[in-house]
Amino acid sequence: MVRFTLVSKVALKPGVQLAGRYTIESILGEGGMGTVFSATQAFTERKVAIKVLHDFAAKNETAVQRFVQEARVVATLSHPNIAQVLDGGVDPQHGVFIVMERLDGQTLQQWLDEHGAMDLRSVERLLVPVMNAVAVAHDHAVLHRDIKPDNIFLARQSDGTTLPKLLDFGLAKLGTNTLLDRTKSGSLVGTPSYMSPEQTRGEQEIDARSDVWSMGVVLYQSLTCALPFEGTNIPSIVAGVLTAQPVPIEQHRRGLPKALVDIVAHTLEKDRDQRMASMRLLADEVSRAVRNAQDPRAFAATAASSPALTDAISAALAAVNNGAPPAQSVSEHTPKPIGASTIAIPAVVRKQVLAAAKIEEPTAPLPAVKVDDEPVEVPVRKTPLAATALAVVAALVVVAVVAFFAR
């Protein structure tokens, strides 16, 4: 095993070359283990970020090995939402360093401080990709162990979009490799507010469900700008994680979809056997909850599930596939009453197909219905559309949707 214990002898400053191929430009930030510099790679002129180990840490073999581990762990992973390590090494004058892709933007913590709690669309756009990235790490037997808003970076792309990136695998555990995992039983590794109960207790045998807990805390914080276990100091936070129930989300923010609130609660089960089983399942469940929570006013009518409707849809699909006009009639089956099995028709599309079918537009709303205990007025006809008209509308919707996606 190679031992890295070099301590930098010359201070890094703008214009200094590192390892003969990176020119230092400025300091980007300071961390517990090292300083991050902006630099340019000499041959390609690529902008990069370089983390150089602090002098005091370079004197500690365990700290050095963990620093080197970060590069090796990330090198085993390949995912667009994981910040990539490009290079690393030892400079005789400046010590151990890691070269990473240069990211422009802000951390999730900075975003929350600036914008406040996330809307549901941002949860799916910014957090679900990170969940999937962690799931890939878990597939490679890598536990992150320090998931928190400061380690999620929202990188601005050249096209103006935002790409979330998971940072800092310095505390990661790689499988059962004792050379890379220097954590001893009973030691506290991680950030207390985001650590699972088993991680807080210093248990050595933790698994992917510990990261699920941490991501659950991040999800809770992103939705509320608060933490589930508050405390004025580390002991009080640790006591809350180990013994207290999380503060109900409803105390911080009302009106969130119940399914999403339940998911957060499921990630924060103290008994890991009762917790959400995997990060990939968490990503899937959050996506499903967000998509199912779309504004019901976007769906102005439902068509009853019936044999007539099934025949109409089949005829419409057959017409599209065969290039023939859709059938203008439907079978004489008697439709069933509108029940749990319905087809939602988006309001904009419905307006167009109603006009095409020469069916009168709705003019009066029914009494408001409740969605997640909040009243929502849903515009519908005074008198339900006739079964044949509903079937024709549904058939035209199918034709319109299929034609749209076939363009």
Task: List C-alpha distances in Å: 39 to 94, 108, 135, 217.
Answer: 14, 24, 31, 34
CA angle 118, 124, 125 (to 5 degrees): 85
**For the chain, what is the radius of gyration of the CA atoms?**
28
For 94, the token pair is 């400046």
Other CB atoms within 10 Å distance of the CB of residue 405: 7
Residues identified as active-site: 146
- Tell me the β-bridge partners of 90: 96
User: What single-letter amino acid sits at 54?
Assistant: H
Residues facing 297 on adjacent strands? none
Which run of H or E residues covers position 53? strand 47-53
Within 10 A of 407 (CB to CB), how many other CB atoms are there?
A: 4
Name residue 28's beta-bridge partners.
none
Q: What angle do CA 383, 387, 393 make, to 5 degrees?
A: 95
Report the C-alpha gap between 111 and 385 in whole angstroms.
48
Residues whose CB is less than 8 angstroms from the CB of residue 406 and which lie 6 or more positions away in sequence, other chains included: 320
